[in-house]
Amino acid sequence: MDTQKLECPLQGWTALLISLFLSSVAICTGTQNSLSTSGGSEEQYNITKKLYSGCEIVMGNLEITHMEQSRDFSFLQSIREVTGYILIAINEFSYLPLEQLRVIRGTNLYEGRFALAIFVNYKMDGPQGLQELGFTHLTEILRGGVQIIRNKYLKYAPRVNWADIVQDSSADIIIEENGIDGESEKRGGEMGLCDPACQGHCWGPGKDKCQTLTKTICAPQCNGRCFGTQPSDCCHVECAGGCTGPHNTDCFACSQFNDSGACVLHCPETLIYNKHTFQLEPNPNAKYQYGSICVSQCPTNFVVDGSSCVSSCPSDKKEVEKNGVKKCEPCEGLCPKACKGTGSSNRQTVNSENIDSFINCTKIQGSLHFLTTGITGDPYHNISALDPEKLNVFRTVQEITEILSIQSWPKEFTDLSVFSNLTTIQGRSLYKGFSLLVTKLPFITSLGLRSLRNINDGSVYISNNKRLCYHYTVNWTQLFTGTSSRQQDISDIKKNRPESKCIAEGRVCDPLCSTSGCWGPGPDQCLSCRNYSRGGTCVAQCNFITGEPREFAGPERECMACHSECQVFDGMVSCTGPGADECVECANFKDGPHCVSSCPNGVMGERGLIFKYPNLTKNCEPCHINCSQGPHICGLVLSFSNLSLLAHSLPTTGIVVGVLVGVFLVFAIFVLGMLHHRGRAIRRKRAMRRYLESGETFEPLEPGEKGTKVHARILKVSELRKIKVLGTGIFGTVHKGVWIPEGDTIKIPVAIKTIQDRTGRQTFTEITDHMLAMGSLDNPYIVRLLGICPGTSLQLVTQLSAQRSLLEHIRQCKGNLNPQRLLNWCVQIAKGMYYLEEHCMVHRNLAARNVLLKSDYVVQISDYGIADLLYPDDKKYLYNEVKMPIKWMALESIFFRKYTHQSDVWSYGVTVWEMMSSGAEPYASVRPQDVPDLLEKGERLSQPPICTIDVYMVMVKCWMIDESVRPTFKELASEFSRMARDPLRYLVIKLEDLDAEIENQEEEDLDDAIATSSLYLPPTWSHSRLRIDSHRVRLKHCQIENTEAYLKVKMYHLLFLIHLADFSLKCSII
């Protein structure tokens, strides 16, 4: 088993060779025959050989079935990738040479489950059969599972680590009944044995048949495949099947697309914004998605659809050819659908049985015949009469390739308007020289063929229609577009209603029709219009200067609407054409020659995003190169030249003066408003400071004792207003709310944590010593209590944090955090915890989620001392429920409910690990109930990738079994302060904006680096009190001793030391 790092000293040459190789990659089409065969064995082998000879990528499935022992399959050696599934079944050969196969994509699955299916490969009455799988380079199956069953002589399939190959952990892997009689797996001795160098995983005998592992050996930092066991040996995220290096050009195959040897998420787009023409234009470097490859041209038997090569256009598009390239373009209306016509012996006429086959047809391949047996029914063939309404299916027909013959028609219809969209009769075959026949229809009064414009061959026969008018007005010569002489003879229009009677009855063309005639009454039945047309209907005038929408006249004198961005004028034209660049004036803004609804805001161009703003004349101007906030900001700045332009563009000086005076008045009002607003803000700020800084003094119970200064106020329920829930934890619910001090109108935004009794026996109606102790805490690195509101449920009031928790911040800013800032936060949390230790306050629930960001540089600890407010029974209830933070707790806390400052040190180590691991969850793959057993065995959280061994060993010390051996918070603050003076020595982070983050390197002492806001944290104590004394203060009433627990923890400590010694030995070897 090859688990060593793959060496590639010439990676640059490798990428070049891959690029050159892919430019001539051989792609072939797979099959989908499953187990069926066509022809004899020899013919099937020849077809298979012809399909796959020289092939490298199989687009589809690779199916090898029913092959004899003597066949030569060496032509399969070039195959590297299969996009569908591989099926090897019912064969007699002993070996299949697929040594170069690396990836099976599984876009199609055998039986909907398997990407690799190998079964029944042996001769029923002989010793021949598949003995060995030759997939020595297969490293990934992207989708689907594996089925290898009932292969009588196959001995090495169970030796393959399929979990390393199959990407989907839920996919089925079935390996059974292989080997002699399927019993070799049980007897063991007959199963193929791997070479010792393979370490138990191989495809066959010999060192050259070892399986190469690329997933199960990877470091936890790797998201996919790897080429070694170190954290730096991860493959690029777009790689599939492994790699030779960390770049996207080092992949064996690509998970998405291969662009000239580089694995990418998308192929180069087909359109790009041109800043000079202000349009999206074709990208000269565009490529199309063809399977898993980016190609500059699609294969000849494929069609371009957007940015992909497809075998056929979707249902809402049609295939067109432009500049020699076949493309799919949206259909105008219904997409063309060609349908078979009538006239054959078994389909003589349109009738009730075949009428539904013409639904949505746009082209009739053949003729359409309407005979009496189809309209009224055919009793002899048991065909019922045709429902007249069903004839409306022909409203979608636009072309008939042969003839239209109507010899019977429902009496409910007085015209042929169901063919109102028919434009062309090709006449490729004729009936006695005619391509249009309308005869013996006693009820029709007009033809109604309003769209018919071309009869390419053949003449017309319109006869014996007693009520038919309007036909005599049609200029039939105009419709005959062919060159046949028979089209000139139109004398077969006869025996219809006399023209004189039609005129006497008023059945004549509409006055808006031209002399070309009409198909029926009304302006929508004209062959052509005397003046203009709109939507197929003749009109006297277009909406040039009045009416909605404004229009212009097209090349065929059709009325066409102006672009929606054109300004509408009364009394004059609004546009000269349909485009946004053909408006007389824009309704909104103008970007170059085009009218637009808004100026470009973040549109992708050749050199990045484009931002523009409208100037005084509503023309879109580019924002300044240094303006990164978009047009809403850069458009606010008007230069003096713009004001000058405004003055010269106005008709009179008086208007200019009036505008300037108005601007001055607006500016003056704005300044006065700002001053008034600032005065109110200052008064509000002073009032808030008065409430936030002042506290209450409680008189001592015993004479001679000093009163306790409590910074938190004792509040009434009526002073608090809850707005919405911010979150729920194991101790209660946190609301966003406001504090309205009694007798005042100021509203102070606060966070309100409500602690409720879960046993139903406890109330918080009285102020306790512990509440006063919590309210008296005042430190820059802990969240200070503003108020305590006793009652049936206790409400603790703190200032509402403008930012989020440290955990959320780290996860969002993953990979962009400065080493200096991370170490400074470690120091601040340690100092905050040391302050709690000095005041005998055990936190019990320290984690990154319970550390809040006061600013980008200062963090504060929250949720301290809450557990001590509860009765013992209530604590037991809380810490036995599912939300118990086991992954952050020390062993003595998990087993014996023992909580001390040293158990908080354990939680501090986990919190630091969260910070260094970009907010990852501790023991993410381990269930909480399994964590104690893991810790007892000596396992600990792994070293974060950005940490040096110095930082990691500090964490390890925090997780020592013996709590007395763990460092104190004073020692931790000192240690991280030392590291913070040289952060790049202890943390290794690649940052994009590292220089901007380290501009304050002179901040040697963290206490002097960040000034505390006078509004949020009043300076009630000096920075000198932050200095940690040189000795550790130990108060006996802060310790909880338990002899039996102590002895057991000592035993755990000894076990951990053994694991730690083994860890140190491995580190020294490395």
The binding site comprises 726-734, 753
767: nearest Cα among 786, 794, 741: 794
- Known binding-site residues for ATP equal 726-734, 753
Secondary structure of residue 22 in the 3-state scheme = helix
52: nearest Cα among 67, 297, 111, 255: 67
Beta bridge partners of 785: 798
Secondary structure of residue 1058 in the 3-state scheme = helix
Query: d(Cα 641, Cα 427) in Å, to the nearest integer?
Result: 71
848: nearest Cα among 942, 927, 921: 921
Token pair for residue 222?
Answer: 């790797």
For residue 353, give the amino acid letter.
Answer: E
Q: Are strands 748-755 and 720-728 parallel, antiparallel or unpaired?
A: unpaired
118: nearest Cα among 127, 107, 100, 141: 141
Query: d(Cα 464, Cα 443) in Å, to the nearest integer?
Result: 11
Is 250:240 a contact under the CB 8 Å cutoff? no
Query: d(Cα 671, Cα 658) in Å, to the nearest integer?
Result: 20
3-state secondary structure 795-814: EEEEECCCCCEHHHHHHHCC
Beta bridge partners of 2: 212
Token pair for residue 671?
Answer: 């300044």
In the block, residue with structure tokens 């792609």: 27
Query: d(Cα 94, Cα 73) in Å, to the nearest integer?
Result: 11
603: nearest Cα among 871, 895, 275: 275
φ and ψ at residue 749, rounded to 5 degrees: -65, 130
Query: d(Cα 317, Cα 281) in Å, to the nearest integer?
Result: 21
Beta strands in 661-819 (DSSP E): 696-698, 708-710, 713-714, 720-728, 733-739, 748-755, 785-789, 794-799
Query: d(Cα 110, Cα 145) in Å, to the nearest integer?
Result: 9
900: nearest Cα among 754, 778, 1046: 1046
Active-site residue 845, yes or no?
yes
Secondary structure of residue 138 in the 3-state scheme = coil
Q: Are strands 713-714 and 720-728 parallel, antiparallel or unpaired?
A: unpaired
873: nearest Cα among 847, 897, 842, 899: 897
Query: d(Cα 207, Cα 227) in Å, to the nearest integer?
Result: 19
Query: d(Cα 397, Cα 337) in Å, to the nearest integer?
Result: 9
Exposed, middle or buried by CB within 10 Å (0-12, 13-18, 19+), for 38?
Answer: exposed
φ and ψ at residue 1068, rounded to 5 degrees: -65, -35
Exposed, middle or buried by CB within 10 Å (0-12, 13-18, 19+), for 55?
Answer: buried
Q: Check 91, 456, 496, 845 and give the catalytic one.
A: 845
3-state secondary structure 539-584: ECCCCCCCCCCCEEECCCCEEEECCCCECCCCCCCCECCCCCCCEC
Query: d(Cα 424, Cα 929) in Å, to the nearest integer?
Result: 78
Query: d(Cα 569, Cα 546) in Å, to the nearest integer?
Result: 8
In the block, residue with structure tokens 């110095």: 950
Active site residues: 845
